[in-house]
Amino acid sequence: MTTFPAWVLRPEEHADAAERGQNRVELEQWSLADLDELPVTVRVEASSLNYKDALALGGRLGVARRLPLIAGIDLTGTVTTSEDPRFSPGDRVTLDGAGLGETLHGGLAGMARVPADQLVHVPEEFTAPQAAAIGTAGVTAAMAVTALERHGLVPDAGPVLVTGASGGAGSIAIALLARAGYTVVAASGRVDAQRSRLEALGAAEVIDRSELSSTTVPLARQRWAAVVDGAGGDVLAGALATVRTGGAVAAYGMAAGVRLETTVMPFILRGVSLLGIDSPHLQLPERQLVWERLAADLDPAVLDGLTTTIPLDRARDRAEELLAGHGTGRIVVRIPPEPDAPQA
């Protein structure tokens, strides 16, 4: 029977770990018979490592909604069989979010069976590893920029702040904004280490995120025409207090915390809008538009420059580094075919 490697989460059997609230995580061999009966079967070529994946691979509870479960919220690969007429064997496809690694078996495996309703053909501008590098982070970044533009943002409106700039979504947001002609200011907790990399992506200025988190007044000096926020917490509160009248913040992250302590002042005295970005539940028409924008506006060479590639068996080790705060850019997990893996 054909088998393939997969990072699998299971209930922890050891009492001490179970009491700490952990799952057991192992690299196992699975078969197609172990997967759910879903219409499209994909030979996974590449996945990626996001913060949510790091939590899951670290055994943390709260990501997986069922057990056992294959981890990985993204996947890119080649269709081997399809019961849906929109896809044929040999098609290169990508799926980001949509329940992968949470309620559906995910992409950190050699094979996957997935629903068709949110599956996207990979644009010809990108290779499979590049599409995996975009993943949920890139889709989220493109959604945030698009949301701000639909709110009325234009390049001559003023500087656009990107928080969580060192992360994958923040990095791609900087590249997209700079390509579209915006003046981008990047906020990072590691300015000295990240300045040259963020400037290479297109940031005109790099500031320490403490400038935002230390802002305690309800309204401070107006600085930003808009904000792409991947930090949350005190950083988001400080950003809201410094957005210009009529501006907006597109928020998707919680790197600085999930609690938001602010006032109504930015909203009722400056007309600031807070726009929530929820990429995992993006439906197919909007998902296709996002990928079209990424194909048009994201330089593959820039994408390669912010991507690190690791093999599947290194995913858990790299997850520990992410949880320790050592991650930058995008991490692609390459998954070469097993000798007996089904081929398209």
Whole-angstrom CA distances from 248 to 61, 209, 244 are 33, 18, 8
Report which of 289, 31, 5 is spatially closest to residue 147, judged by C-alpha positions. 289
Residue 192 burial class via C-beta count within 10 angstroms: exposed 0-12, middle 13-18, buried 19 and up:
exposed
With a pLDDT cut of 90, the percent of the chain lying above it is 85
Per-residue confidence (pLDDT) for residue 255, from 0 to 100? 83
Q: For 99, which DSSP code?
A: T
Write the pLDDT tens digit of every residue in 187-209.
998 899 899 999 999 999 999 99
Task: Indicate if the pLDDT at residue 154 is higher than 80.
Answer: yes
Contact status, residue 198 vs residue 186, Cβ threshold 8 Å = yes
Residue 339: per-residue pLDDT: 52
Q: What is the reported pLDDT for 138? A: 96
Give the residue with greater pLDDT, 45 vs 257: 45
Q: pLDDT tens digits for 274-286?
A: 999 999 889 999 9
293-323 tens-digit pLDDT: 999 999 999 999 999 999 999 999 999 998 8
Q: pLDDT category, 153, cuts 50, 70, 90? A: very high
Can you list the pairs that 190-195 forms with residues at least 24 positions away whose Cβ atoms lie under 8 Å? Answer: 190/166, 194/165, 194/166, 194/328
Is 51's pLDDT higher than 70? yes
pLDDT score for 14 = 63
Q: Give the mean pLDDT of the chain.
A: 93
Write 276-280 long-range contacts (CB < 8 A, 24+): 276/251, 276/252, 277/140, 277/143, 277/144, 277/147, 277/250, 277/251, 277/252, 278/252, 279/96, 279/97, 279/136, 279/139, 279/140, 279/143, 279/252, 280/73, 280/96, 280/97, 280/98, 280/99, 280/102, 280/136
Mean pLDDT of 165-172: 93
Per-residue pLDDT at 329: 84
Is residue 68 reached through a cis peptide bond, with omega within 30 degrees of 0 on the bond before it? yes
DSSP 104-127: B--SSBSEEEE-STT-EEPPTTS-
The model's confidence at residue 20, banded by pLDDT at 50, 70 and 90, is low
Indicate the pLDDT class of residue 17, thresholds 50, 70 and 90: low
Sole residue written with tokens 């070529």: 45
Query: What pLDDT is recorded for position 5?
Result: 97
Report the pLDDT averaged over residues 142-166: 97
The span from the CA of 214 to the CA of 207, in Å, is: 13
Helix H or strand E encompassing 235: helix 233-242
pLDDT tens column, 224-263: 999 999 999 999 999 999 999 999 999 999 888 899 999 9
Question: CB burial class (10 A; 0-12, 13-18, 19+) of residue 296?
Answer: exposed
Mean pLDDT of 37-60: 95
List all residues 6 or more positions away from 268 whose beta carbon is below 8 Å from its beta carbon.
none
pLDDT for position 2: 80
Residues 34, 1 contacting (CB under 8 angstroms): no
Q: Closest Cα to residue 255, out of 323, 176, 198?
A: 323
**Residue 77, SS3?**
strand
Confidence of residue 134 (pLDDT cuts 50, 70, 90): very high
The predicted structure's pLDDT at residue 336: 85
Q: Which residue carries 């009248």 as its tokens?
A: 245
Name the 3-class secondary structure at 49: coil
Whole-model pTM? Answer: 0.91
With a pLDDT cut of 70, the percent of the chain lying above it is 95
